[in-house]
Amino acid sequence: MTEIALPRHSELPPQATWNAPSVFSDNEAWENEWKRVSVELPDRAQKYQGHLADSAAVVFECLQVRDETLRRAQVLTVYADMASSVDSNDQSAVAMAGRARSLSGQVLATFAFVEPELIAIGRTRLRGWANSEPRLALYAHYFDDLFRKQAHIRSGEVEELLGLLADPFSGVGQNESMLTNADFQFKPARSSTGEELVMSPSTYDGLIHSPDREVRRTAFESMTDEYLAHKHTLASNLATSIKQNVFKMRARRHDSTLAATLFEDNIPVEVFHNLIGVFRQNLPTWQRYWAIKRKALGVERLRYYDIWAPIATQPPTVSYEQAVTWICAGLAPLGDEYVRAVRRGCLDERWVDVYPNQGKVAGAFSTGAPGTHPFILTSYHDDLFSLSTLAHELGHSMHTYLTFENQPIVYCNYSLFVAEVASNFHQALVRAYLFKTHDVAQFQLALLEEAFANFLRYFFIMPTLARFELEIHQRLERGEGVTADTLLKLMDDLFAEGFGGQLEIDHERHGIIWATFGHLYADYYVYQYATGISAANALAQRVLAGKPHAAEDYLRFLKAGNSVYSLDALKIAGVDLTKPEPVEAGFAVLTEMVDRLEKLVG
C-alpha cells in the first residue's frame, strides 16, 4: 500500500476541512490583499517616522496603524500556512506562505523606527501621555514592557535590519518542514501478517499506537531510518538555526540564548532550571512505569516503539462527533457560553481540518489572527488519542478566541509559555470527566494509556529535548562545532539516562529522535510543554475541586492575552511557576497514574 491510498485534501467533504473562505474567498482575494498591504506599506509608516515626539495623538495613530498592518499580514500568513500545511504538495500554497512571511518581515522592518523613537521620548513623558490621552492608555503595559527591554533595543537602523532578517531566518525551519513533510519517502510499515500499511507523517501516530508490535517496529524504523539517511543535512540545518539564535542574542546584548529567549516574556532562567532539576529527580517515576508496562505487555525487553503500545485489548472507537460531545461535557465547569463556542467551532464554523490526507503535515496545531477563526490542523483517527489531541488544540483555540474577543491587537500575541497551559488544561478536564463517567476496566485502561502518552510527550520527551537544546546552544555559544554524530550521541546519552536501563538501547535510532521534532526551530519552545502540563493540572484540580472562583479565575487568565506578563497571568489563574512546587505536583499526578495502572494490570 502506498501514499496514494490516502485521499487528496480536495476529496474530503468540506465539513471536515478548515473554513478557508471565511478568511479569503479564494486565492485571488488573498493575492489582492497581499498587493494592497505591499503597496500601502511605505506610505502608512513614512508619515510618522521622525514625528512620534510631536504629540500623544501622533503616537496613538502610529501604533494603531502599525498594529493593524501587522494584523493584516498575520491574516495573510494564517491563510497561506493553513493551505500549505493541509497539502504540502500544493506548490502555489507553499509559495504563498513564503510570500506571506516575507511581507511580515517587511512590515516589521518598516515600523522598526517606532520603538527606538518611543524610547527616545522617555518613560516619564510617555507615561504622562498615557495618563492624559484616554486612547493611549491601553498601551500603558506595552510602554512599561518596552522600557524593561530598553537595554536590548538597538538603534532604528539596527532594528530595521533585524526586522528584515525575519524572513530569511525563517528559511531553515521551512527547509526542515519541506524536507520531512514533502520530500521524505517513507517505506511502508508492515503488520505481523505481512500487510503493508501507509507510513507518512500524518499516519505515524496511528501506527505507533498499534497493538501489533511488528507494525510499531516497522513504523518506528521507517521513520527514524529516513531521518538517519538525511542526518547530516538535518544537523547542519539545526546548527544554522541555533547560530541564528546566537547572532540575535549577541545583537541584542544578552548573556546567553536562554536568557535572551526567556527575557522576551519576562521569565527568569530559574523557571527553566527548576523544571530540569525536578525532572531529573523524578526520573525513577518514569522508570517504574516502564517496568510495569514491560510486564503488562509480556515482552522480555521494552523497546522505544513499545512505550506507546496499548495494554487495553478493547479500546473504544471514538468518532469525531462523539469526541466533540465528550470534550464539551468535560469542559462544562467552564460554563455554557464557553462550551457553546467550542461546539460551534467544531461542528458549524469549521475551525478544524479533521482527517489525514496526502501531503498533510505531521502533528497538530492551532493558529489564527484577529479577524479569523482560531483554526486547528489535526489528523483524526477515531480513538481516544485523537480525542485528546483535539481537546489539546481546542485549548489553544479557545485561548485565542477569548483573547481576540477581549484584547486590542497589541495584546493578542500571548506567549507560548501560557499557551501550553491552556491546551493541557483542556486535556486534564476532559480526562477527569471520562474517568468519572466510564468505569469499565478496558475503557479506564485505554484512558490511562492516552494520559501516559500525553505525559510521556510533555513530561518526559520535551524536558529531555530541552536538555538537548540547552547543551547544543551552549556549545555553539562557546564557538564549538557540532556534527550529526555529536547530536546523535548527545540525544542517545540523555535518553539512556532517562530510561534508566528499562529500555533496550538502539543507539542511532534513539539518537536521531531530536530531528523528528520541528519544535527545535522555535528557540526554547519545548520546555514550555512541561511547565505547561504542570500548571494545567494544578489549575484543573482547583476547578474540579470546586475552589471558589477557580473557573472564573481561569477564564480571566485566558482573556488577559499578553496584557500582563505571563507569570502574572498564571498567578491570576492560581498557580506560581517561579517555584518548583507546580512541577513537583505534576509528578504527583504522574505517580498517582502509575499506581492506578499497577492496580488495573496487577
- Average pLDDT (202-208) is 86
Tell me if residue 195 falls in helix, strand or coil: coil
Residue 5 has pLDDT above 80, yes or no: no
Residue 1 has pLDDT above 80, yes or no: no
Q: How far is CA 210 from the centre of its chain?
A: 25
pLDDT at position 2, please? 40
In single-letter form, the type of residue at position 481 comes to G
The DSSP annotation for 500-542 comes to TTSB---HHHHHGGGGG-GGGGSTT-THHHHHHHHHHHHHHHH
% of the chain residues with pLDDT over 70: 99
DSSP structure class, residue 302:
B
Residue 482 has pLDDT above 90, yes or no: yes
The phi and psi torsions of 376 (rounded to 5 degrees) equal -130, 135
Q: Which residues does residue 527 pair with via DSSP β-bridges, in sequence order?
A: none
Q: Which residues does residue 562 pair with via DSSP β-bridges, in sequence order?
A: none
pTM of the model: 0.86
Beta-carbon contacts of 31 under 8 Å, excluding residues fewer than 6 positions away, are none
Tell me if residue 190 falls in helix, strand or coil: strand
Q: Which of 224, 129, 121 lies closest to 180 in space, CA to CA?
A: 224
pLDDT at position 174, please? 81
* Domain locations along the chain: 13-169, 259-317+409-602
- Average pLDDT (273-297) is 95
Rounded to whole angstroms, the Cα distance separating 30 from 79 reads 8
pLDDT (tens digit per residue) in 149-204: 888 888 888 888 888 888 888 888 888 888 888 889 999 999 999 999 999 887 88
Mean pLDDT, all residues of the chain: 94
pLDDT at position 363, please? 84
Of 116-120, 169-173, 184-188, 431-435, the poorest mean pLDDT is in 169-173
Rounded to whole angstroms, the Cα distance separating 522 from 257 reads 12
The count of other CB atoms within 10 Å of the CB of residue 91 is 11
The active-site residue out of 115, 117, 159, 393 is 393
Q: Which residues does residue 367 pair with via DSSP β-bridges, in sequence order?
A: 375
Topology of the domain comprising 259-317+409-602 = Neurolysin; domain 3 (1.10.1370)
The DSSP annotation for 102-149 comes to HHHHHHHHHTTTHHHHHHHH-HHHHHHHHHH-GGGGGGHHHHHHHHHT
Assess whether 393 carries a catalytic annotation. Answer: yes
pLDDT (tens digit per residue) in 32-84: 999 999 999 999 899 999 999 999 999 999 999 999 999 999 999 999 999 99
pLDDT (tens digit per residue) in 227-244: 999 999 999 999 999 999
CB 16 within 8 A of CB 353: yes
pLDDT at position 552, please? 97
**13-169 against 259-317+409-602: fold identical:** no
Beta-carbon contacts of 35 under 8 Å, excluding residues fewer than 6 positions away, are none
pLDDT at position 413, please? 93
The phi and psi torsions of 446 (rounded to 5 degrees) equal -65, -35
pLDDT (tens digit per residue) in 547-572: 999 999 999 999 999 999 999 999 99
- Measured N-to-C along each axis, helices 566-573 and 550-560 cross at an angle, to the nearest 10 degrees, of 160
What is the grid cell recorded at 571? 498567578
Q: Which residues does residue 376 pair with via DSSP β-bridges, in sequence order?
A: 352, 366
Sign of CA dihedral 218, 224, 225, 226: positive
CATH class of 13-169: mainly alpha
- Average pLDDT (96-108) is 93
